[in-house]
Chain A
C-alpha cells in the first residue's frame, strides 16, 4: 500500500497524463485517422454533454424521459434564430447560446409542471409525446409565418466567433495550425468539462441527495421534508439546460439544422448511452456516449473489410451496426444491467433486485 504522498503523486500523474492526452487528442486523431474523425470527436463531445444532461433526469432523479431531444432541438433552433440570415439576426455567440439554454430550461419547467405527478411508464409516454410534438412543430411552423423554415431547416448559421477568432477558419498559434474542427474540439471540451463539474457538484450536495431519495422512495422522501414536485422540476430544468447548451453548440458547429436531426431515435440513443454506460455515474455516462457515437462510425469500415476478405458484402454495415447494437443492449441487460461502468450504488441496486 502506497503512503499518502505517493498516492497523491500518483493521482497528479494520472491527471496530468489525461490532461495532456485530451489536449493533444485532435492532432493525434487527425494524424492517425483523418480530418473527418476530428469532427466525429467533436460530435462525440456533444453527445457526452447530452448524456450528462439526461443523466441528471434519469440517472439522478429517476425520471424516465423519452423525449429529451426536444431540449436539444430548442437550443439549436433558438441559436439558429438568433445567429443566421433566417431572421437577419446575428447575435454574438455568448448571447445566443445562453438564450437557447434558457428557453430549453423554460420548456423543461413547462413540460414538467403538469406531468411530473405521473410515474414511470406514464411519464415516459408523455415525454415521448413532447419530443415528437417539438419535432413536428419545427417541421410545420413555416406557414403562415415562417418561423422554422419547415423541413428545409435553417441554413448558413453563423459559425462561432470568439472575439477576433472565427472557429470556421484555420488559425495558427505558436506556429501550429489549428483547423476549425480542432478549435471546435477545444471549445466543446471546455463546455463538457464545465458540465461534468456541475454534475459532480450537484451529485454530492443537498440537492443530489434529495434526488436519490426521491428515486429510492418518493413517499418517504416527501415525509422527510423533500418538496418532491419542485425537485423533480429542478432535475428536468437542469437536464433541459444541458440539452439546450448542446443544441446551440450543435447549430454553430454544423451550420445547418433541420427537424430530421431531432427525432425519437435520437432520444432513445441518448438514453441508451447512459443505460449502457452506467446510469447515474459520470464516467459511465461519458464512456457510453463516446462508445455509441464512435462505434457506429468504426463499423462502417466493415464494408471494406468484407469486400477485401470475401470479395463481396454479406452484411451491410448499416444492418451490422443495428445488429450489434441490439446484441449489445441484450447482453448488457443480461449480464451488467447497471451498465458497463456502473456506480457502486447502482451495482448494489441491481444486485438486490436480482436476488
Chain B
C-alpha cells in the first residue's frame, strides 16, 4: 500500500493550549482512515488549510500541503466536508456541485462575457459531471431544488457530491453521520464504501465508534494532541494505551 498523505511531526498550539504535539501518521491510498481523540478536529483543519501548523510537514502524494490556503489544498487534491453542513443554501443542488467544480474549470471574465466555444464546452461538461455526481450520491431528483430545502440526509450527500466535483485524491469527511438516524447512517456507510471501492481514499472523523470500527481500514488515536496508537481497528481497540486514555488508568 502506498502512502497518499503523510503527516510528519505536526504541532499546533492555540495560545497556551497545545492542541497537537509532534503528530506523525500516514494515510495509504485506497483506505478509509479515521483519526480519533482530542485533537482530531485540529488535525483535520490543519490538513485542509484552515489552520496553519506551527511545526511539521503535511504531504499529499509528495506535494507539500502545510502552509497552503484552503483553495490551494483543494486544488492539490484534498476535498472536505463540514461537521455543520455548509452548503450554499440559496443555490440549487446542481449549482452547489457546479461550485465544487470551480477549481477544475478555467474560464474567466472574457470567456463569461463572450461565451467562447471553449467556455461553452467547459460549462456543458461541468453540468454533465455535476448531474452524474448527483446521481452517484443518489439525489439526482433534487437537482433543481434549493440546497436548504433538501432533507438533512440528502444535504449531507450533496456536500459529498460537491466535494467530489473537484475529483479529489483524498476526501476528508468531518462527522458526516452527525444528526443521522440509523437508516441514514447505514445508507451513508454504503455510500462511503462504494466510493472506496471506486478507488477514492477517505479520511473520516466520526464520534460513532461502531461506525468507525466497521468502516475504517486503519485508525489513529490522539490523546490530547499526542498520537498514542495507529493501526487496524481491532488492534487499536485492544491497545492498553488507548484503553487507558478512554477509560482511565484505574480500570486496568
Contact = CB atoms under 8 A, between A and B. Distances in A.
A and B found bound together: yes
A348 B90 contact: yes
B121 interface: no
A224 B75 CA distance: 9
B91 interface: yes
Given A213-B88, A224-B100, A226-B99, A206 B82 contact: no
A345 B88 CA distance: 12
Contacts of B154: none
A207 B70 CA distance: 18
B71 to A, nearest CB: 5
Contacts of A238: 109
B107 A205 contact: yes
A19 interface: no
Nearest to B104: A225
Nearest to B81: A223
Given A201-B115, A219-B86, A220-B82, A206 B71 contact: no
A224 B99 contact: yes
Contact of B99 (A198, A201, A209): A209
A201 B103 CA distance: 20
A208 interface: yes
Contacts of B109: 202, 207, 234, 238
Given A216-B89, A345-B90, A223 B107 contact: no
Contact of A206 (B102, B163, B166): B102
A267 to B, nearest CB: 24
B80 interface: yes
Interface string B155-197: 0000000110010000000000000000000000000000000
A101 to B, nearest CB: 14
Contacts of A205: 107, 111-112, 119, 123
Interface residues of A, number: 30
A221 B70 CA distance: 9
A205 B103 CA distance: 14
A206 B107 contact: yes
B102 A223 contact: no
A207 B71 contact: no
Given A223-B74, A225-B166, A206 B123 contact: yes
Contact of B112 (A206, A217, A219, A227): A206
Contacts, number: 104
Contacts of B95: 209
B102 to A, nearest CB: 5
A202 B114 CA distance: 10
Nearest to B105: A206
Interface string A210-236: 101100110111111111100000100
A201 B112 contact: yes
Contacts of A208: 112
Interface centre among A212, A217, A223 (most CB of B within 10 A): A223
A212 B91 contact: yes
B87 interface: yes
Contacts of B162: 224
A197 B115 CA distance: 12
B148 A352 contact: yes
A225 B82 contact: no
Nearest to A345: B90
B108 interface: yes
A349 interface: yes
B99 A213 contact: yes
Q: Identify the interface centre among A206, A224, A238: most chain B CB within 10 Å of its CB.
A: A224
B98 interface: yes
Given A213-B91, A220-B87, A223-B71, 12 more contacts: A201-B113, A207-B108, A209-B91, A209-B95, A222-B70, A224-B71, A224-B99, A225-B166, A226-B102, A226-B103, A227-B71, A352-B89
Interface of B: 48, 50, 69-71, 74-75, 79-80, 82, 86-91, 95, 98-100, 102-105, 107-109, 111-115, 119, 122-123, 126, 146, 148, 162-163, 166
5 contacts: A202-B113, A220-B82, A224-B71, A225-B79, A228-B71
10 smallest CB-CB distances across A and B, nearest first, come from A225-B103, A205-B112, A220-B86, A225-B74, A222-B70, A216-B88, A201-B113, A213-B99, A223-B70, A227-B71
